[in-house]
Every structure is written in structure tokens, then in C-alpha cells.
Amino acid sequence: MIDDGERLARTGIVPRNDVDRALATRFSVRRFRPDPPPEDLVGHILRVAQRAPSGTNMQPWHAHVVAGATRARLSAALRAAHEVPSEHRQPYAYYPPEFFEPYLSRRRKVGWDLYGLLGIARGESARMHAQHARNFDFFDAPVGLVFTIDQRLAIGSWLDHGMFLQSVMIAARGHGLHTCPQAAFAPFHRPIREILAIPETETVVCGMALGYADENAPENRLVSERAPLDEVVTFHR
């Protein structure tokens, strides 16, 4: 892994305060150490994250914290489900049916950058499959989170839910923890529902790995790129 200083240098961001630092040093960690964060700290992070805003204060989110034997059982069920994807169905459209520019290039770039660090070459589909399967072990994180939303809610509540997700990730960062949000979980909502007793009225939005980053892992050296500001921001003067 690269340390926060090198990560900041690679992003080109000079933090001006601790909030800047938490935001700019968050990244998707894909290999965690086995030591678990204290449960009290996980609860604290979720309590702080719950200060996220939401339209008319509806707070349209629910988080399941999964550790210990339940996490092991969930991972085993997800690994098995991932081997028979045709039996599972994405519950909501996270991506468009076809990718187009500029999103297609950005998506390809981060994918190949990750595979490059892992020494996975084009065409090595078994190794790509195995890397994708690591999602279901929460990338070895000792704590996993599963986020759900009431299926009757509208798109606005999904915005709110996203703010909750980012708040969890930033609050975690403030305590030296790292995360990886995981939409890979969504298609496998059936086994997730069974193990976590999630009612049919809730949609599984995503999972999230939470823990301490493995500092020696090549995959944690990835610094994903961002578009130049003028591509995504228009200042009207």
C-alpha cells in the first residue's frame, strides 16, 4: 500500500483540514488485515454517519453489520451463488444496459489499472473471476455491512441513501479505518435475505467491507484517476 502522504501527492490534493484529508485519503481497499475494529467504534461510525441529510428527514437507509460466524456463513453462501450467476438477478439497474463515453473509458481504465497491479493480463478470465469473487469475502475485512432500502421509496431516497454510504466511509476514514463499497452483492440478494432475515420489502443496495487496510497488498496501491475539474464542473460567472 502507499501511505496517505503518497496517495495525496498522487491525487494532487493538498488538504487544508481534516475533512479534506478524510475525503482525499478514502479509497476502495481490496485487501484488509484480519484484526477487527471494536464493535463500539463501528456503532459510533454508523451513529455519526446517520447525521447524513435526507429529504424531509426520512432517513431511508438500513445497515446490517455482519461479523463473526454470520459473516463466514454469508461469505460462503455468496461465493457459492457467484458460481451460478444465471440463477440470480440484479434487483435494480446500477449501470445502463450499454456503456458509452466518457464513462466507458473511465471504467475500463480503473479496471485495467487494478488488474495491472495484480499482474492479471487481458484474457485471464479465471483470475478475473477469482478477483471478483474476493468481493464476497469482503476482501478479507472482518466486518461487512449490507445496506438496504425500502423498495417503495422513490429515486430521491436513493440519493439520500448514497449520502449515508459516503458518510459511513468518511467517518470510518476519520478513525483510521478503510472501506470498499460493493454493488457486487446486489444480484445475490436471495441468499443475503435468507441469512440476514431481510424482508422482501427491502431492496439490497450494496455491501461494504470495513476494517484496517493491509499495507503490503499491491491492490491497495491503486489510486483511481479523476477527470479534470473543467470536465465535470462549470463555473458560471
224 part of the interface to ligand FMN, by CB under 6 A: yes
28 part of the interface to ligand FMN, by CB under 6 A: yes
Q: Are strands 143-150 and 178-182 parallel, antiparallel or unpaired?
A: unpaired
Binding segment for ligand FMN among 6-14, 75-83, 180-188, 189-197 (CB under 6 A)? 180-188
| CB neighbour list of residue 198: distance below 8 Å, 6 or more residues apart | 64, 146, 148, 189, 192, 204
Instruction: Tell me how far, at minimum, the Cβ of 184 lies from ligand FMN, in Å.
Output: 3
Contacts with ligand FMN by CB under 6 A: the residue count is: 12
Burial of 62 (0-12, 13-18, 19+ CB in 10 A): middle
Binding segment for ligand FMN among 64-72, 140-148, 177-185, 228-236 (CB under 6 A)? 177-185
Residue type, 83: E
Instruction: Tell me how far, at minimum, the Cβ of 40 lies from ligand FMN, in Å.
Output: 26
Instruction: Tell me how far, at minimum, the Cβ of 185 lies from ligand FMN, in Å.
Output: 7
State which residue, 60 or 181, has the beta carbon closest to ligand FMN.
181
Instruction: Tell me how far, at minimum, the Cβ of 208 lies from ligand FMN, in Å.
Output: 8
State which residue, 106 or 193, has the beta carbon closest to ligand FMN.
106
Encode burial over 157-183: b for 16+ CB neighbours within 10 A, e otherwise.
Answer: beebbbebbebbbbbbbeeebbbbbbe
Residue from 13, 76, 77, 110 touching ligand FMN (CB under 6 A): that is 110
184 part of the interface to ligand FMN, by CB under 6 A: yes
182 part of the interface to ligand FMN, by CB under 6 A: yes
* Contact predicate 147/161, CB 8 Å: yes
- Number of C-beta neighbours around residue 111 at 10 A: 12
Of residues 124-143, which lie at the interface with ligand FMN (CB under 6 A)?
135
What does the alpha-carbon distance between residue 7 and residue 2 come to, in Å, rounded to a whole number?
A: 6
Peptide bond into 85 cis (omega under 30): no
State which residue, 30 or 189, has the beta carbon closest to ligand FMN.
30
Strands (DSSP E) along the chain, which ranges? 62-66, 143-150, 178-182, 202-211
Residues of this chain that interact with ligand FMN (CB under 6 A) are 27-28, 30, 110, 135, 180-184, 206, 224
